[in-house]
């Protein structure tokens, strides 16, 4: 059981990662990001289930909660970028250039 879940979560994690890496729009990357976090929570939950006690899932729950908070902030940032009149794409956001 856990083998399947872990392989699924690994696959999903990599897909999420690919999503972030390959897409140029911020929102698409955001989705990939969320996916990665959820997959991590899933893997955490799965291992927690092996221990048979309830505490394990607390961590998974908290991860979910934090991910939700992060999602909100992420979306606000993206909106803030758009509202300042710039396309929400990675190419245009080069302020950090060394």
Partner 1 sequence: MSSLPPAALLLFLAPLAALAAAFFIMRPWKPQWTHVPILISCGVVTAAAAYLAAMVYTGRGADVTLYTWMFAGKWSVPFGVRIDGIGVSVLCMVALVGALIQLYSVGYMKGDPGFSRFIMLLHLFYLSMIGLLVSNNYVQFYLFWELVGACSYFLIGFWSHKEAARKAAMQAFLTLRLADFGLMLAVLLIIVQFRDTHFALFHAVRFFPSMYHPLIGLLILWAAAGKSALFPLYFWLPDAMEGPTPVSALMHAATMVTAGIFLLVRSWPLISAVPGLPGLIAVVGAVTAIFAAVLAFTQTDLKRILAYSTVSHLGLMAFAVGLGQITAAVFHLVTHGFFKATLFLCAGNIAHASGKSAVSVSEVGGLWRRMPLTFAAFAIAAFSLAGIWPCAGFFSKDAILDAAFERGGWAWAAGLAIAAASAAYIFRMLFLTFFGPRPEQSPARSLHEAPPVMAVPVAFLALGALAVGWAREDLVAMLFCGRQSAVAAPSLPELAPKVAAAGLGLAALAAGVVFALTMGAPSWDWHWRRRRPGLAAAFAGDLGWRRVVAGFVARTLRVADVVGRVWDHETWDAAIEKTATACRALSRGGSAMASGGLSESLWWLMIGAAALLAWAGLR
Partner 2 sequence: MIPWFAVFAGSAAVAFAALMITRRSLYSAAVCFLAVIFQLAALFYAVGARMLAFLLLLIYAGAVAVLIVVSINAAQEGSEERRRWNQPAFSRGLIAAGFLPPLLEAVVLLARGGTAPAQAAPIGDLALGLALFGPYAAAAEAVALLMLFAALAVVGKPEASR
* Binding region for partner 2 (CB under 8 A): 1-2, 4-5, 7-8, 11-12, 15-16, 18-19, 22-23, 25, 27-28, 30-32, 34-35, 38-39, 41-42, 45-46, 48-50, 52-55, 57-58, 60-62, 64-66, 68-73, 75-76, 78-80, 82-85, 87-88
Q: What is the DSSP string of 61-93?
A: HHHHHHHHHHHHHHHHHHHHHHHTT--SBTTT-
Does the footprint of partner 1 cover residue 94 (CB under 8 A)? yes
The Cα–Cα gap between 32 and 48 comes to 24
Neighbours of 93 (CB within 10 A): 12
Partner in contact with 39, chosen from partner 1, partner 2, none, beta carbon below 5 to 8 Å by kind: partner 2
CB of 63 to partner 1, least distance (A): 19
For the chain, the straight-line distance linking the first and the last C-alpha, in angstroms and rounded, comes to 48
């Amino acid at each position: 059981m856990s083998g399947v879940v872990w392989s699924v979560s690994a696959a999903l994690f990599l897909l999420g990662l690919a999503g972030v890496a390959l897409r140029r729009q911020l929102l698409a990357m955001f989705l990939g990001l969320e996916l990665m976090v959820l997959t991590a929570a899933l893997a955490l939950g799965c291992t927690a289930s092996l221990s048979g006690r309830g505490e394990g899932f607390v961590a998974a729950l908290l991860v979910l909660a934090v991910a939700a908070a992060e999602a909100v902030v992420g979306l606000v940032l993206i909106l803030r970028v758009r509202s300042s009149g710039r396309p929400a794409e990675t190419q245009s956001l080069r302020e950090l250039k060394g």
